[in-house]
Chain A
Amino acid sequence: MPRPETSGTPTSSAAGTRLDPWLGTYAERTQGMRASEIRALFAVANRPEVVSLAGGMPFLDGLPLDQLSQVAASVVAQRGLQALQYGSGQGDEQLREQILEVMALEMIAAHPDDVVVTTGSQQALDLVTRVFIDPGDVVVAEAPSYVGALGVFRAYQADVVHVAIDEHGLVPAALEETLASLAAAGRRTKFLYTVPNFHNPAGVSLALERRPQVLEIARRYGVLVLEDNPYGLLGFDRDPWPALRSYDDDGVIYLGSFSKTFAPGYRIGWAVAPHAVREKLVLASESAILCPSNASQIAISSYLATCDWRSQIKSYRELYRERRDAMIGALSEHLPEATWTVPDGGFYTWVRLPEGLDARDMLPRAVTARVAYVPGTAFYYDGSGSDHMRLSFCYPTPERIREGVRRLAGVVTGERELVELFGTAGAESDDEVASPAPDLP
């Protein structure tokens, strides 16, 4: 705002302050980091009065906590000197062998040396991006895509190009078209980022017949595939489908995680990568964190060795199926004018709002009504997607889910009235992906 002249002598000629003495020294990549009002609203969403259909938090009450406390005690009692010490940058060897057993459920045949243990698969995402992306390089990703991945890509100043998905996942023809047009424009696409199973946020899975097609297209264009698979074992009505990595050892980096099938608090995930890539990932990880937590790795290793983890996953599948049913039933009852995906696994359904409504605009009203969701804008690099929202059914009980959707229906009605009144919606949204709220995995 222009500064007016005021009469008399100014009483202060003091220099102003921006309350940050390091303002001129930040890296360019921090420019997009903003404290949005969406983050402020999520502070309310975490309160118990609010039915949060926003976060992707697993329902840990379903874990055998008594058994786990014994496991945790034994970690210190029996292997304390190892658990509390630095460890290998690549990760605990025994755990890496056990990870092979987990991945075998998705037909992946690998060697323990192929596995790099990371601090959650989020760190693996960061490492892969750090190793491959220079500013301006292209990452091709599904539309929509996991908000946390978009945040990493943005941090490394990648240019993300989205590719359409449908109810059977990534559309091969759309992928081909995108890669062809990028190649024709002389753009270098470094990798394709995909969540093939029970997609976050869309809830869909890449159809079996499309898997080899997608790999063949990527191979033809010389594009690496980054397969992010935290939910693959959480199918409701079927056994896991073969991972993309099971078709192609050389062209796929696979990311796995214990955060959704066991406990995110341990922060243990992993990457399986071709030999040369894996070497770089280990070096990059050592420079970032020296080594993943030994205590966490040994606790998970003990859990896998002493508890019936397959039955645990089975009970989670049943629990989440019941919640999915509650969510879909409630949507049918209360929000018939919206459309949504019906996931056969994982944590999320992707809801398209009635014509003209903007999920981001609607969020304050939702929080006032004590229900929260994630606006679709979080899942697009360019902030589009305002006509969608992600609803999570993993954490609230079926009763709370029904109550949450009932509240949401009231919010939609109110917002609809507003939009009908003023005949406007879908203005430009600010980018949200650089600073996702902490509960948006």
Chain B
Amino acid sequence: MITSASSPSAAAAALPVDGAPGRTPRVAVLAGGLSHERDVSLRSGRRVAEALRSAGVEVSVHDVDADLIAALTDLQPDLVWPVLHGASGEDGSVRDVVQLLGLRLLGTGPRASRVAWSKSIAKTVVSRAGLVTPEFVTLPQSLFRELGPARILSSIVDRLGLPVVVKPSRGGSALGVSVVRSASELARAMVECFSYADTALIERAVSGVEVAVSVVDLGDGPVALPPVEIVTDGPYDYDARYHPGRVEYFAPARLSEATRAEVERVALVAHHALGLTRLSRSDLIVDTDGVAHFLEVNVSPGMTETSLLPQAAEAAGHNLGTLYRSLVEASLAASPVGLEPAPAS
């Protein structure tokens, strides 16, 4: 355990738990883990825990390690909130374990997480649901070994044109991501990408306004929070994401009424189509014709000081503690373990 449980503020009203009105729910926040995004997850987890405590929720924060199962078994929390980024946290496996322990999850279940975690599968699913997503190919490293890279790389350029974005098919925080503007840079980008993952997604780069749309479901169905526009004078890379100053955010995004409605629609369609639960964040680009292109979705969006979902929530007038507490309440009121909605096919 990273921090021990803290007492809720006396002023905050207790939440009803399993028909026991008056009892304060215990929420176990999972943060850390062994993914490349451990550091971000620790920060996200701390922020979520602080906000929940401020809203009167009893919270403990746990790392994902050999002590986790024993800790959760002993604690028997009413709800487990995985604020984990990267593999095992977002690929569904830790969520599987939580459900195996008979505990309730806040957020998307394991099966839908697995689908969303793979950018290429998620793109295929949302594309079938009618959304626009940049043309792409997904190629494992082993394929390059078997077929030889030269022809594959030149086919990529022929097919997708330039520039393209090369990114790990599974991963986050822009780790291993490159924008390739000339064919000679492509091999280098593949090496960088394969340092993080064994499968690369290469997609046509779309020029336009970068927008993130968070979706929350407080019990009455998913709703989109105001889109957040991201303006950078360089790549929106790891440093830009977590070091204030390099990025200018506009919340809400500077979009027309119609475009704003469209990006919110896209995020909600993605949320539905992928069978996501309680919260998600879709990353989109609005091109020069106003078309919203779906790039990827996060089942465990960043919750740090510079992250997009908290900015969107505040732009919508939410107090973070109150919002997160409402997510907890909605999760407790919803169906328990084992009723994860299947992703739309």
User: In the complex, which residues of chain A have a beta carbon less than 8 angstroms from the beta carbon of B141?
Assistant: 418, 421
Q: Does A70 contact B (CB under 8 A)?
A: no
Q: Does B335 contact A (CB under 8 A)?
A: no
Which of B38, B40, B246 has most chain A Cβ within 10 Å?
B38
User: In the complex, which residues of chain B have a beta carbon less than 8 angstroms from the beta carbon of A423?
Assistant: 187
Query: Given A17-B249, A43-B38, A47-B65: A6 and B259 within 8 A (CB)?
Result: yes
Partner pick for A6 among B35, B175, B194, B256, CB 8 A cutoff: B256
User: In the complex, which residues of chain A have a beta carbon less than 8 angstroms from the beta carbon of B192?
Assistant: 361
Partner pick for B175 among A14, A35, A364, A418, CB 8 A cutoff: A364
Closest to A44 in B: B38
Q: How far is the CA of A13 from the CA of B305 in the complex (A)?
A: 23
- Evaluate contact between A7 and B239: CB separation under 8 angstroms: no
Q: Does A355 contact B (CB under 8 A)?
A: no
- Evaluate contact between A361 and B191: CB separation under 8 angstroms: yes
Q: How far is the CA of A427 from the CA of B127 in the complex (A)?
A: 35
User: In the complex, which residues of chain A have a beta carbon less than 8 angstroms from the beta carbon of B145?
Assistant: 417, 421
Q: Does A19 contact B (CB under 8 A)?
A: yes
- Evaluate contact between B39 and A39: CB separation under 8 angstroms: yes
Q: How far is the CA of A47 from the CA of B41 in the complex (A)?
A: 14
User: In the complex, which residues of chain A have a beta carbon less than 8 angstroms from the beta carbon of B250?
Assistant: 12, 14, 16-17
Q: How far is the CB of B155 from chain A (nearest CB, A)?
A: 15
Closest to B35 in A: A44
Q: How far is the CA of A12 from the CA of B260 in the complex (A)?
A: 10
Query: Given A19-B306, A417-B145, A425-B191: A40 and B249 within 8 A (CB)?
Result: no
Q: Does B129 contact A (CB under 8 A)?
A: no
Q: Which of A36-52 contact B (CB under 8 A)?
A: 36-37, 39-41, 43-44, 47-50
Q: Does A237 contact B (CB under 8 A)?
A: no
Partner pick for B195 among A9, A12, A361, A421, CB 8 A cutoff: A361
User: In the complex, which residues of chain A have a beta carbon less than 8 angstroms from the beta carbon of B253?
Assistant: 12
Q: Does A82 contact B (CB under 8 A)?
A: no
User: In the complex, which residues of chain B have a beta carbon less than 8 angstroms from the beta carbon of A19?
Assistant: 244-245, 247, 249, 305-306
Closest to A30 in B: B245
Closest to B305 in A: A19
Q: How far is the CB of B194 from chain A (nearest CB, A)?
A: 5
Q: How far is the CA of A12 from the CA of B254 in the complex (A)?
A: 5
Which of A7, A364, A419, A423 has most chain B Cβ within 10 Å?
A364
Interface string of A1-13 (1 = CB under 8 A from B): 1111111111111
User: In the complex, which residues of chain B have a beta carbon less than 8 angstroms from the beta carbon of A40?
Assistant: 36-40, 173, 175, 238
Q: How far is the CB of B297 from chain A (nearest CB, A)?
A: 21
User: In the complex, which residues of chain A have a beta carbon less than 8 angstroms from the beta carbon of B176?
Assistant: 364
Partner pick for B36 among A44, A370, A417, CB 8 A cutoff: A44
Interface string of A347-368 (1 = CB under 8 A from B): 0000000000000011111011
User: In the complex, which residues of chain B have a beta carbon less than 8 angstroms from the beta carbon of A34?
Assistant: 239, 243
Q: Does B42 contact A (CB under 8 A)?
A: yes
Q: How far is the CA of A422 from the CA of B229 in the complex (A)?
A: 36
Q: Does B343 contact A (CB under 8 A)?
A: no
Query: Given A6-B286, A17-B249, A44-B34: A49 and B65 within 8 A (CB)?
Result: yes
Q: Does A23 contact B (CB under 8 A)?
A: yes
Q: How far is the CB of B315 from chain A (nearest CB, A)?
A: 8
- Evaluate contact between B249 and A20: CB separation under 8 angstroms: no
- Evaluate contact between B175 and A419: CB separation under 8 angstroms: no
- Evaluate contact between A1 and B210: CB separation under 8 angstroms: yes
- Evaluate contact between B35 and A422: CB separation under 8 angstroms: no
- Evaluate contact between B191 and A422: CB separation under 8 angstroms: yes
Closest to A42 in B: B39
Q: Which of B272-318 contact A (CB under 8 A)?
A: 286-290, 305-306
Q: Does B102 contact A (CB under 8 A)?
A: no
- Evaluate contact between B249 and A7: CB separation under 8 angstroms: no
Q: How far is the CA of A135 from the CA of B290 in the complex (A)?
A: 48
Partner pick for A18 among B175, B187, B247, B252, CB 8 A cutoff: B247
Q: Which of B205-251 contact A (CB under 8 A)?
A: 207-210, 226, 229, 231-232, 237-239, 242-251
Partner pick for B255 among A2, A6, A41, A417, CB 8 A cutoff: A6
Q: Does A69 contact B (CB under 8 A)?
A: no
Q: How far is the CB of A26 from chain B (nearest CB, A)?
A: 8
Q: Does B258 contact A (CB under 8 A)?
A: yes
Q: How far is the CA of A39 from the CA of B207 in the complex (A)?
A: 30
Q: Does A424 contact B (CB under 8 A)?
A: yes
Closest to B241 in A: A35
Q: How far is the CA of A17 from the CA of B254 in the complex (A)?
A: 13
User: In the complex, which residues of chain B have a beta carbon less than 8 angstroms from the beta carbon of A13?
Assistant: 254
Interface string of B141-171 (1 = CB under 8 A from A): 1001100010000000000000000000000
- Evaluate contact between B238 and A18: CB separation under 8 angstroms: no
Q: How far is the CB of B306 from chain A (nearest CB, A)?
A: 5
Instruction: Please give 9 more A-B residue pairs, beta carbons under 8 A apart, in addition to A18-B244, A423-B187, A427-B188.
Output: A6-B259, A16-B249, A19-B244, A37-B173, A43-B42, A49-B34, A361-B192, A361-B195, A364-B175
